[in-house]
Amino acid sequence: MDPEKYERLKENAKRAKLRSFMRKVGQDKYKQEQSLFWAIKRVKEEARQDTWCTNHGDCFRCSTSEDGKAESPQHIAKKFERWLYWRKFGATVFTEVRWKEGGRSDLVICLNNGEIFIEEVAVSEKEGSLLLKEEKYPFPVKVVRC
């Protein structure tokens, strides 16, 4: 066999093997990105690390106090209803996550397919305030009205 032809065949085989390997890596990465594990990892990366340990997945949290600065009973009830709704479908739900860029979202929903979004429960919140949250939060925001 011609040595030049042999070298070309060898190079083609190397390139084919590399393409196959890179395709497999891409497929594995895609599968991983479509998983609940990946979604939770992304939420953790965007959350404030000094508060993350208190943001347990699947634990319901709310703010109650007598000084009027806490969530209203109507807000808490609706938030709990939405929390139960998503838990019923097997989603991992975080409540009261504080973000690196500021703000604290009502519910962060992580689905088994890797999708992440935020639900904000609005009782008396003004539209401008909700728009600011959409710009500030790291994931898409869905507003749920009471």
pLDDT in tens, 2-12: 888 889 998 99
pLDDT at 142 over 60: yes
Encoding tokens for residue 92? Answer: 């991992």
Q: Give the separation between CA 24 and CA 35, rounded to whole angstroms.
A: 17
Interaxial angle between packed helices 36-46 and 3-33, expressed in degrees from 0 to 180 and rounded to the nearest 10 = 70
**57 in helix, strand or coil?**
coil
0.85 exceeded by pTM: no
pLDDT for 143 equals 92
By residue count, the chain amounts to: 146
- Cβ atoms of 87 and 58 within 8 Å: the answer is yes
